[in-house]
């Protein structure tokens, strides 16, 4: 248990860094590590991938909320890119969360893998993500993007427990925003997914777990350890936002997605 807590604290610190710099909220870090520990439990009554996704959404509520407050003080949260897409992301999150509780473990796992792989491929192939011209002017979100796109982002993100940054960051990049602004917006846009997903997962498995350390599908011990590592790191990391060159920031984003993909496939 001591080793497990120490590892979770370490990954919590990493999730704090990725929350601020990439808008992940911790999802791509927490899902693989919690999944690995859940598999190792000799007598777990709940599916490992369901526990990983649920715990990830619970951690994201706090991480994304903390990072949003930090980014608000920097002035990087552009309200014209938050509304109304955030409302439709919330709608999609309701649909995706209920669908995830009924999904088969193997389906959930391989959809997570496919989701990561497609995102990496799209960001590498499509122009405008890795490189952004200095004279590029940001473009407004269209009505279809905000409504249908927002609903789709919320559904996919809550289904996989990843917050939605892997869709919102590329979207904002295609609209011409710098990486610092795109990743800053990813945190408040992840909050509806995290809050709704956590509520659904907390009650979806009531009575299914024999362990007092679980609230529904959420592993409270793992979530607590991850947050103990992430919150102090968020407070420190927010001071370097905007100092990283745009191209390096974008490449680091894709490298981290690739690492998460390898981790979940190997495990």
**Is the pLDDT reported for residue 152 higher than 80?**
yes
Q: Which domain holds residue 36?
A: 1-266
Q: 73 or 255: which carries more pLDDT confidence?
A: 255
State the average pLDDT over residues 232-261: 82
pLDDT band at 225 (very low <50, low <70, confident <90, very high): very high
Helix, strand or coil, per DSSP, at residue 148: helix
**Is the pLDDT reported for residue 50 higher than 50?**
yes
pLDDT of residue 18: 83
The chain-wide mean pLDDT, for the chain, equals 81
pLDDT of residue 234: 86
Cβ-count burial of 242 within 10 angstroms (0-12 exposed, 13-18 middle, 19+ buried)?
A: middle
Rounded CA-CA distance 47/34 in Å is 12
**Is the pLDDT reported for residue 208 higher than 50?**
no
Rounded CA-CA distance 237/58 in Å is 21
pTM of the model: 0.76
Phi, psi of 218 (to 5 degrees): -80, 125
Rounded CA-CA distance 120/103 in Å is 24
| pLDDT (tens digit per residue) in 83-131 | 889 999 989 888 887 887 777 767 767 777 887 788 888 888 877 778 7
170 neighbors 186 (Cβ within 8 angstroms): no
| pLDDT (tens digit per residue) in 185-204 | 888 988 888 888 888 888 87
| Number of separate domains in the chain | 1
Q: 181 or 74: which carries more pLDDT confidence?
A: 181
**Is the pLDDT reported for residue 45 higher than 60?**
no
pLDDT of residue 17: 87
Residues 6+ apart with CB under 8 A from 84: 146, 147, 150
| pLDDT (tens digit per residue) in 154-176 | 888 777 766 677 778 888 888 88
**Is the pLDDT reported for residue 74 higher than 90?**
no
């Amino acid at each position: 248990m001591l080793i497990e807590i120490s590892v979770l604290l370490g990954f919590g610190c990493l999730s704090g860094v990725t929350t601020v710099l990439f808008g992940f909220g911790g999802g791509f870090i927490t899902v693989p590590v919690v999944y690995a520990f859940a598999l190792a439990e000799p007598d777990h009554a709940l599916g490992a991938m369901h526990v990983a996704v649920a715990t990830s959404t619970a951690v994201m509520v706090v991480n994304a909320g903390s990072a949003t407050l930090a980014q608000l003080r920097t002035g990087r949260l552009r309200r014209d890119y938050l509304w109304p897409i955030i409302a439709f992301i919330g709608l999609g999150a309701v649909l995706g969360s209920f669908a995830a509780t009924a999904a088969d473990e193997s389906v959930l796992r391989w959809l997570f893998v496919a989701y990561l792989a497609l995102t990496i491929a799209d960001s590498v192939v499509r122009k405008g993500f890795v490189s952004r011209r200095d004279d590029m002017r940001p473009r407004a979100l269209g009505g279809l993007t905000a409504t249908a796109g927002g609903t789709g982002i919320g559904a996919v993100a809550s289904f996989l427990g990843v917050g939605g940054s892997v869709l919102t960051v590329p979207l904002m990049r295609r609209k011409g925003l710098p990486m610092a602004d795109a990743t800053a917006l990813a945190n408040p846009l992840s909050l509806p997914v995290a809050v709704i997903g956590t509520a659904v997962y907390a009650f979806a498995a009531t009575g299914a777990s024999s362990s007092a350390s679980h609230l529904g599908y959420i592993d409270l011990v793992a979530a607590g350890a991850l947050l103990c590592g992430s919150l102090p790191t968020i407070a420190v990391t927010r001071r370097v936002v905007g100092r990283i060159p745009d191209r390096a920031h974008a490449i680091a984003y894709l490298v981290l997605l690739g690492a998460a993909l390898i981790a979940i496939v190997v495990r």
